Amino acid sequence: MDFILSRALSMRLLLITALVATMFAARAAEAPPTPARLEPVVTGLESPWAMAFLPTGRLLISERPGRLHVAAPGGKPGPALQGVPAVDAGGQGGLLDLVLDREFAQNRRLFFCFSEAAADGKTNGTALASARLSEDETRLEQVRVIFRQQPKLASRLHFGCRIVESRQGLLYLTLGERFHAMDQAQRLDNHLGKILRLRKDGSVPPDNPFVGRADALPEIWSYGHRNPQGATLDDADRLWVHEHGPQGGDELNLIQPGRNYGWPVITYGENYGGGKIGEGITEKPGMEQPLLHWTPSIAPSGLALLRSARYGADWQGSFFIGSLKFRHLERVKLDPRTLKVQARGPALPDVGRLRDVREGPDGLLYLLTENPGQVLRLRPAAEPESR
């Protein structure tokens, strides 16, 4: 009898195992294949942070230690450009984001942000500069710092530092709260944990939301941010930003002028090592809810809205975000009318520590990884490899 029961149990387990295997095989067959493959474009970079596409077909790339390089696709970076101002590199600081002026083809102007030391050498803050790239692409000319974050602090953390130019020719700049000064993100008399809106000479547009308020800095566009390291515009010229949560609670937000995004009063994260932050609440009147949050954190960096149809209709209109923590490319697709999430999750696994994501002039996605330092291009799977 024991033999018969044992044999029957074994047969049952085999049937269950076969059924489970069939189910997983069916799901795998139903899952759409990844519509892209990776190919290297530039290699040999050291801690790269941002990239921009020059009209010549080459790339301009920043390295956090304080260097700018021009690189041709298929090669290594050229010599470091001359004229870059002194950068206080260390911790999370260094030479960070860069963008080309929308009229770069005519004026050769670019903007970049970096961690700048104070005169005393003890404190630092995020600075935004404009410059002109020389005709031979070997140096920066007419370098001018147009904004300096105040107050400067003794910190190596949370510089923020993403730049976006609107169709109106105005600059948005994201600023971190420098970690130890998180409570200052709720005050309007400083630049910590803020997003700014500036003219290209650093002056303030007269229609900024806090212009004319005695208790607020007029350059502030929104506040209550932690450490925003991804920013882009949609087709309606609306600003989208993601930011790091503390331990959980990374956020994607559609930024509205004058709004309070809650940090550190409300958050879906918690203290490192565990424990509530402040009151441990996730909602409060007068503070914006994120459109989505990642808990656990993915540690997002870089943000691109894919307009191209080269990868197919499913990817078109999606946000693509680098994950520093999980080393994958995250995809988020929202309903354009309701802004409800239609799809989210890894689009490509195990790419590397992704620092920047951009859509190139060719409609392809370009990824910047820290270690190894390289630019990767996502080639649609149906297209032949580049030669």
Catalytic residues: 158
Distances (CA, A) of 293 to 108, 299, 319, 332, 372: 38, 11, 14, 11, 28
Cis peptide before 228 (omega within 30 of 0): no
Structure tokens at 243: 């930011």
Nearest to 234 by CA among 193, 291, 192: 291
CA atoms within 13 Å, Cβ hemisphere of 133: 29
Euclidean distance between CA atoms 227 and 217, whole angstroms: 19
Half-sphere exposure of 107 (CA within 13 A, CB side): 11
CB < 8 Å & 24+ apart, contacts of 198-206:
198/128, 198/146, 198/147, 198/170, 198/171, 198/173, 199/169, 199/170, 199/171, 200/101, 200/109, 200/111, 200/130, 200/146, 200/169, 200/170, 200/171, 201/130, 201/146, 202/128, 202/146, 202/147, 205/170
Tell which residue, 251, 239, 131, 260, has the closest CA to residue 185.
260
**Distance of alpha carbon 291 from alpha carbon 222, whole angstroms:** 16
